Structure 1
Amino acid sequence: MSKLVDIQFPKYGKVGVFDAGDLTISKGDKVLVETELGPSLGTVCSEPRERGEEWSEKPLPKVQRPADENDLRNYEQNRRMEKEIYEFCYGKIQERGLPMNLVSVDRLFEGGKVMVYFTAEGRIDFRELVKDLVQRFRTRIEMRQIGVRHQAKMVGGLGGCGRQLCCTTFLSNFDPVSIKMAKEQNLSLNPSKISGMCGRLMCCLSYEYQYYESARKGIPKVGKRVKTTQGDGKVVRQNVLKRVLTVLLDSGEEQEVSYDDVIRNPSAGQPAPGKANDQPKKCNGECVNSCKEKEKE
């Protein structure tokens, strides 16, 4: 059975899972791997492991072979060329007054193509810029306009938690994130607290959202009146993780009450969270035949 390894790409720090097949490699080795843009140099950052059930049905890119001295020299040459292309391209952007922000330049491992990544508010006519680059470096140039989230992914940095950005280390796709996710988790809605380095809502707001959403079902909302074992009052706060409500009692005292201590919601006549409703169910029309048979008896 083929083995799996984690590969880190030196330029961006991104880590991916690759199929090592039956190659004899170990942690710290330099290898050539398959990517959507062709071969790329990476570093093995884990010991080979068996391909478990979670990866059994997933097609994975392959490790082609261990890197040799020529591959390492080629990589260093590409990095020097990228720096030169970046400086030249940046100068031409300023010279032509193009409203675009140059993010990164990648020269493919085999050297036949250069990818230029940039951000801009709208569409940019960069045809003259491409001509300048082709005339200077005599290679294929591809311009790619990216969003601010992809820019943060490529540039990297530290999040408010002190760890490297999720998009730089392990996230492959950008899932939609909404302000509702922050509200559901009782987080501060201060933009500086819930925005990432890219200026968009932090991706991590979606990590625990589904848990909070399911845990709140059947729980009295903030502002609702409830009847508890300690008296009647109004819910002023919720702590979903501890399963506790803070209730302002009619006596003026605030009490922390477990979900299980909520007897009912007097304003809506609902049973306590998690407790069954003992009221008999009414016929909903789906049991017409059985009801008629009982009437005949």
Structure 2
Amino acid sequence: MEKSKEHIVHVGCDRGLCHQAVGRQDKQLNTYDWLADVPGNPYTTDLVEVQFKHTRKGYYHNVNNLDLKKGDIVAVEASPGHDIGVVTLTGRLVKLQLKKVNIKSPDDIKRIYRIARENDIQKWREAQAREHSTMIESRKIAKGLGLDMKIGDVEYQGDGNKAIFYYIADERVDFRQLIKDLAVAFHVRIEMKQIGARQEAGRIGGTGPCGRELCCATWMKNFSSVSTNAARFQDISLNPQKLAGMCAKLKCCLNYEVDDYVEAGKQLPGKDIILQTQDGDYHLFKNDILAGLCTYSTDKNIAVNCETITAERAKTIIEMNKRGEKPVSLTHDEGKKAEPKPHIDLAGGDISRFDKAKKKKKKKNKPNNNRQPNDKKEAKDAK
């Protein structure tokens, strides 16, 4: 007997994935480089993608022809000074990323100076350590000036000479005095950058109700507007608590499948059309859009005598009603007799079981040796 072969479980790189293409998983918006194991791919272009804090990314020219790969910490050109970031993508895919972020001007693409030295990394770590305290202090300064804004995050440049303050505001804010006060308080160059609630959620990160990490913190770069029409097309209940994401805005994932639902919804009959049969009139109760099924009820407001038919069958009945004809029922035409539906017991079993007479069981007289004679006859026979 030959021994049975053991089942091999492929995980990670064994499934054909290149470990060099994955990169570090502690970086948000990580891009899998499908061309990482192609010979000569990193040398097809000198463009390199560099990621900074959270979801901020930049694209730079490798003018010094450095041997860069994913995960390398580099010093890049900034205004003023230099910044420190991590290489997240090299090779041909960088050009495709440029198209996504709509970078057309060559002036937006700066240079990579060098691979970060030990003192560069030390200054970078020290600047990062001051970010949280700077954010708390800046919020107090903005509140003291009476500005209607929220400072959600602070990011120091790698050399510590500049700080970017990310803020959220519903209306236009005059923060000229705020910039002066922040410059005096922290002795750095100040840059104010307005972001929306979705961008803030992407920078903070978190886990969505689906159990996965937020899309805005993992792969989404451009945010499109989401309206309640996306929920209506998919026949989703308009419950604000369920439709809202971690950013208190409508979930971005409502737009993922809305196009398929719109196309499938065109094949369904109108919601206000009443189907007339010999049994009575039927009103649309609900639709299974992707399956192409329609459920009709004899009552307009509640589910009564519900029947589920296909969209093609519903359109056939609509055409018959236009000609003045009425089918026997939703599922049968004029010439066909509707078969009586069997009764269904929701509790299980056959409903006719209650009609069967129960057989009475005969009691068997068992001898009892401990019984005492009560009458005279039994006493006489006992003698």
Report the TM-score when normalising by structure 1. 0.69
Match of 2:124 among 64, 68, 75: 75
Aligned residues: 264
Counterpart-to-counterpart distance in 2, 1:259 and 1:73: 67
1:150 aligns with 2:199: yes
Tell me how far apart the structure 2 counterparts of residues 226 and 34 of structure 1 sit (CA, whole Å): 70
Aligned to 1:191: 240
Q: How many angstroms apart in 2 are the aligned matches of 1:8 and 1:121? A: 31
Tell me if the contact between 1:6 and 1:16 (Cα under 8 Å) persists in the aligned partners. no
Q: Which runs of 5+ in 1 are unaligned?
A: 270-297
5 Å-filtered alignment, 1:62-211, equals 64=112, 66-211=115-260
1:214 aligns with 2:263: yes
Pairing 1:244–2:244 present: no
Q: Which residue of 1 aligns with 2:41?
A: 2
Change beyond 3 A, Cα 1:33–1:119 = same
Quick check: 1:154–1:168 contact (8 Å CA) kept in 2? yes
Aligned partners of 2:68 and 2:87 also within 8 Å: no
Which residue does the alignment assign to 1:265?
A: 318
In structure 2, the CA distance between the partners of 1:140 and 1:130, relative to structure 1 (3 Å rule), is: same
| Higher Rg of the two aligned structures | 2
Secondary structure class of the residue paired with 1:265? helix
Q: Is the 8 A contact 1:226 1:232 kept in 2?
A: yes
Choose 185-194 or 28-37, whichever is displaced more: 28-37
Distance in 1 (alpha carbons) for counterparts of 2:187 and 2:94: 46
> Are 2:81 and 1:42 equivalent residues in the alignment?
no
Q: Is the 8 A contact 2:52 2:84 kept in 1?
A: no
- Deviation track 1:208-253 (CA, whole Å, cap 9, x = no partner) reads 111111111131133423489x997333211122222212369x53
- Give the partner amino acid of 1:265: I
Give the Cα separation in 2 of the matches to 1:98 and 1:55: 37
Partner Cα separation in structure 2 for residue 233 and residue 225 of structure 1: 6
Q: Give the partner amino acid of 1:184.
A: F
7 and 114 in structure 1: CA distance in 2 versus 1, 3 angstrom threshold? same
Mark the runs of 5 or more structure 2 residues left unpaired by the alignment.
1-39, 104-108, 324-383
Aligned residue for 2:235, secondary structure, equals coil
- Residues 10, 43 of structure 1: 8 Å contact kept: no
Local SS of the residue matching 2:165? strand
**Cα gap change, 1:113 to 1:35, in 2 (>3 Å):** closer
Instruction: Give the aligned partner of residue 254 of structure 1.
Output: 306
Alpha-carbon offset, residue 70 of structure 1: 3.5
User: How much has 1:102 moved relative to structure 2?
Assistant: 1.5
User: d(CA) in 2 for partners of 1:56 and 1:124?
Assistant: 31
Return closer, same or farther for 1:132/1:249 CA change in 2, 3 Å cut-off: closer
Q: Structure 1, residues 150-184: CA drift from partner, whole Å, max 9, x if none?
A: 32232222222222222222221221211111011
RMSD between superposed Cα atoms in Å: 4.1
Conserved 8 A contact 1:233-1:247? yes
Task: Provide the C-alpha distance between the structure 2 equivalents of 1:153 and 1:104, rounded to a whole number of angstroms.
Answer: 12
| Deviations 1:128-171 (CA, angstroms, capped at 9, x unpaired) | 32222222333221223333233223222222222222222222
Give the counterpart letter for 2:212 in structure 1: R
For the structure 1 residues 31 and 268, does the alpha-carbon distance in structure 2 shift closer, same or farther, using more than 3 Å as the test? farther
Amino acid aligned to 2:41? S
Q: TM-score, normalised by structure 2?
A: 0.56
Secondary structure of 2:287 counterpart: strand
SS in 2 for 1:236: strand
Equivalent residue number for residue 343 of structure 2? none
Cα distance in 1 for residues equivalent to 2:67 and 2:183 = 41
The secondary structure found in structure 1 opposite 2:248 is coil
Query: In the TM superposition, what whole-angstrom CA distance separates every residue of 1:182-211 from its partner, at most 9, and x where no partner exists?
Result: 011011101111112222211111111111
Q: Is the 8 A contact 1:222 1:238 kept in 2?
A: no
Letter of the 1:159 counterpart: G
In 2 relative to 1, CA 254–49 (structure 1 residues): closer, same or farther, beyond 3 Å?
farther
- Indicate how the Cα distance of structure 1 residues 170 and 8 shifts in structure 2: closer, same or farther if over 3 A, else same: farther
Relative contact order (alpha carbons < 8 A, sep ≥ 6): 1 or 2 greater?
A: 1
Q: Deviations over 1:65-100 (max 9, x none)?
A: 654434432321220232342233123223334332
